[in-house]
Structure 1
Amino acid sequence: MTDAGGGAHLALALREFAGSARFAQALTLLVIGFAFTTHAVRSLIGWPGLLAALGGLLALCALSLVARWRAVEWYGILPITILVFVGWCAASVLWSGPGANAPAATALRVAYLIAFAFLGVYVALMRDTIQIVRAFGDVMRMLLAASIGLEVLSGVLLDVPIRILGIQGDLARLGPIQGLFGSRNLLGFVALIALLTFVVEWRTKIITRGKAVASIVLAAFCIVFAGSPTTWIALGTAGVATAALYGLRRAAPATRWRWQIALLVSGIAALVTAWILRIRIIELLDARAEFDVRLDVWRELSRYLSLNPLQGWGWVGAWRDTAPYSWIELATGRPHGSALSAYVDVYFQVGVIGLLLFVGLVGVALVRAWLLASTRRSVVYVWPALMLVVIAVTSFAESFVLGEGGWLLLVVCAVKAARDMSWRDALAAGRPPAPTVERLG
């Protein structure tokens, strides 16, 4: 009886610990930190170590969800857009190829996609938006500081590349730098979302003014020395979006919809103008070499798109070292981990249908987040909208959003936007969708 009583007491203590807010907070930090350092983890301990760490995080998140089962509002957890897109990627197992083991490889890659989606859903369910902003801010400060520390060690103190992490040691030559992320473009992407997160932290008074200024300087330093043209374009777009939201939040509610329409028309006009002047913009950003690389990849991809235009070649996420990806790398003369565009990558892997579903996922999430950011009083609602703007723009020239940290960020923002402005709840109640009130605890 004593042993049984002790076991019951231990189980109750474990349940209370796993269901505590402090455990969810710590686990959220671990999830975000892991998702954005997969390159470093993979470089240091390989795929077996990364998958073991991922499995451990999934088990802990599942335990936390079970422990807090009654506190979670399960209705409408996932936006339909996420379910349909992931479902179509999973269905591509049926036609993936070439190669006898292609279906099995596709199934594993889809499971990898679902795993990070589950982590993103956990973060969105367990934490309020302001808590998510705080978690991202804490993690990004640590990752960027560690990246600069390693760059100083490699490029200034030792003047030797840290090849295992992909650090070239070019800080003394003013970059480009890679930090913990293996490429300057990914460092620029992370630094940009960090910069916007730090600004929101400052405006919501989550952190002190001094800490906010130091964090913003750190992120700006990383953006400048990464030297990523894609990041500069995304930064400019995010700046315009921030100014637009600033104006919309101060407009009278009766006239706000007119300003929304005006902004939509202006945005379309800006996109058309940017397309017409794309060569001049590329020259101003000194991005001719990067654009030529992308053009070569897209040209080779187009040769194989006509074979499977509707359904694609099957989901792989990051490219495998098999056909047709190895053929494309051979033709372009350099290795590639992606199509250097999330939209092109999705089109190639899961076809026109998959591309439309992916654009719908990003578009619906962005519209929801934008409406929340422009109508809700709390500044914290601006964060998901700005994150989705950065994702939408960066995805034209990079495929970060299709896996790991980028995919987790998209899922978190999409789930938060859907739960705060649910169309299903609104239709069930027979009224227009209205944003919910964000808890600031």
Structure 2
Amino acid sequence: MDAARHPVFPPAVAHLFGSARFASALTLCILGAAFSTHLLRATMGWPGLLAILVALVALATLSLLARRQAIDWYGLPPITLLVFLGWAIISVFWSTTTVLSGARVLYLLLFTALGVYLTLVRDTIQLVRGLGDVLRVLLGVSLALEVLSGVLLDLPIAFLDIQGNLTSLGPLQGIFGSRNQLGLIALIALITFSIEFMTRSVPRMLGAFSIGLATLCVLLSGSPVTMGAFIVVVLAALALAGIRRVPSATRMYWQLGLLAIVAITAAVLWLTRSRILELLNAGSEFEVRIAVWREIVRYSQMNTLQGWGWVGAWPPIEPPYIWINLATRGTQSSALSAFYDVYFQLGIVGVISFSALIGFALVRSWLLASEKRSSVYVWPALIVVALTVTSFAESTVLGEYGWMLLIVCAIKASQSMSWRDALRRHEPEPVPEE
């Protein structure tokens, strides 16, 4: 049946929801909400945040319906994403907190839907520009509130978890709730602003100012996790810059050599991890993580294959999460590692599917950044590198803006390097009937 003869909306409504201006405005709203969840919860509570997210998903659905004829759905989404989400949904049935698990799965699906929408209606440079505009505002607001708290009032802003440490040069939290969150978001902003500067998407002065703002926030966050991720991202950017300049005929050999260097470096870093932690002043944080991970391994032995069921951020008073916090004398809201969190909540099956999702996203985006001439292809690769490195010490990638960015990068890379798309290109042409 011809969709054009049976429109979903009247022409005026279809023009509104299908317009580029509506998609651009909705993109800014989605990115702003995803990166401001802590601020929205602190000011509006969970009901306000959920109402905003549901409204954004509804508007995104209307926009997709209005644009349905212009969207190519083939090869979307990646199989690894479907497997991970499917296992998380099924885990509700064996979870010890069935109702809560069901609600948290729906919360994860909200950000999945928003990530899929961004990927379908905006190309990479439009996403970079939209994210750049949003993060400039959010980092600026964060610094302004830190100045208000630490300099003008000399009092913490308790409901936003801002401690007012600006006069002692950090650590700062901004509007994101913790120094690790501010640091990671500032690192994402630094990557985004750098791509804007390289592609000349913004005026040079604005681009330079934005890079300086993000760098300042990275440093003032005082986050050892972010500093480690920052070093890896810089090294990855330098490696990509070198590989993009070598002849295509020898590029594969350079890629294999780089892979060998990464493997050797990872082994050396593991063997010298104690000294590195001392240099980063992260010893106490690492000890907390070790204690939490040890308890996770102990409790996971009861449900090794399937895990305890998906809950995302830990419910503080529900077992077995309360038991781990009591054993470690902490108040953790996550396993302080995405991989341990997935293992605890979704078992071995979850770890394999999650590792495949993030691994394929990393490899595909890296190969695209190596082969494509435009600098905009570097953005997904470096974002996935930042998320992957941070995932070893934080669980941010499993929810909200971290999960949404992973979805965007994974689908963007899959659209250009999907094995299903390769099969479609090599399908034999139908033989005409005689």
Match in the other structure for 1:302: 297
Which residue of structure 2 aligns with residue 36 of structure 1?
A: 35
2:285 counterpart of 1:290: yes
In 2: Cα distance, 1:329 partner to 1:155 partner:
31
| Equivalent-residue separation in structure 2 for 1:173 and 1:227 (angstroms) | 11
Aligned to 2:430: none
For residue 410 of structure 1, the aligned residue among 397, 402, 406 is: 406
| 1:91 correspondence with 2:86 | no
Deviations 1:136-166 (A, max 9, x none): 1111111100000000001111111111111
In structure 2, the partner of 1:313 is 308
- Report deviation, 1:428: 2.7
* Counterpart residue type for residue 262 of structure 2: G
Mapped to 2, the partners of 1:22 and 1:77 lie a distance apart of: 25
TM-score normalised by the chain length of structure 2: 0.95
Give runs of aligned pairs for residues 11-50 of structure 1, distance below 5 A: 11-50=10-49
Report the Cα distance in structure 2 between the residues aligned to 1:339 and 1:42, rounded to whole angstroms.
22
Question: Which residue number corresponds to residue 358 of structure 2?
Answer: 362
Please give the residue correspondences for 1:124-203 in structure 2 after superposition, counting only pairs within 5 Å: 124-203=119-198
What's 1:383 paired with? 379
Residue segments in structure 2 that go unaligned for 5+ positions in a row = 1-6, 428-434
1:239-254 equivalent positions in 2, closer than 5 A: 239-254=234-249
Deviates more, 1:56-65 or 1:293-302: 293-302
Alpha-carbon RMSD across the aligned residues, in angstroms, is 1.2
Tell me, in whole angstroms, the C-alpha distance in 1 between the residues paired with 2:367 and 2:264: 21
Residue 119 of structure 1 is aligned with which of 114, 122, 128? 114
Superposed CA deviations along residues 24-73 of structure 1, whole A, max 9, x for unmatched, are 00101110110111011011111111111111111110111111111111
Quote the Cα distance in structure 1 between the aligned partners of 2:141 and 2:394.
24
| C-alpha distance in 2 between matches for 1:337 and 1:39 | 14
Identify the residue that residue 3 of structure 2 maps to in structure 1. Answer: none
Q: Which runs of 4+ in 1 moved over 3 A?
A: none
Instruction: Provide the C-alpha distance between the structure 2 equivalents of 1:248 and 1:91, rounded to a whole number of angstroms.
Output: 42
Distance 1:285 1:92 in 2: 38
Deviation of 1:292 after TM superposition, in Å, equals 1.1
Structure 2 match to 1:238: 233
Residue-pair matches, total = 419
Question: CA-to-partner distance for each residue in 1:375-404, whole Å, 9 max, x for gaps?
Answer: 001000000000000011000000000000
Q: Distance in 1 between matches of 2:68 and 2:90?
A: 30
Q: Which moved more, 1:305-314 or 1:326-335?
A: 326-335
3-state SS in 2 of match to 1:368: helix
Structure 1 unaligned residues grouped into runs of 5+:
1-7, 432-441
The answer to whether structure 1 residue 345 and structure 2 residue 344 are counterparts is no
Residue 206 of structure 1 aligns to a residue in which SS? coil
Which amino acid is the alignment partner of residue 246 of structure 1? A
Cα distance in 1 for partners of 2:203, 2:262 equals 35
C-alpha displacement of 1:11? 3.5
Question: Within 2, Cα distance between the matches of 1:61 and 1:128?
Answer: 16
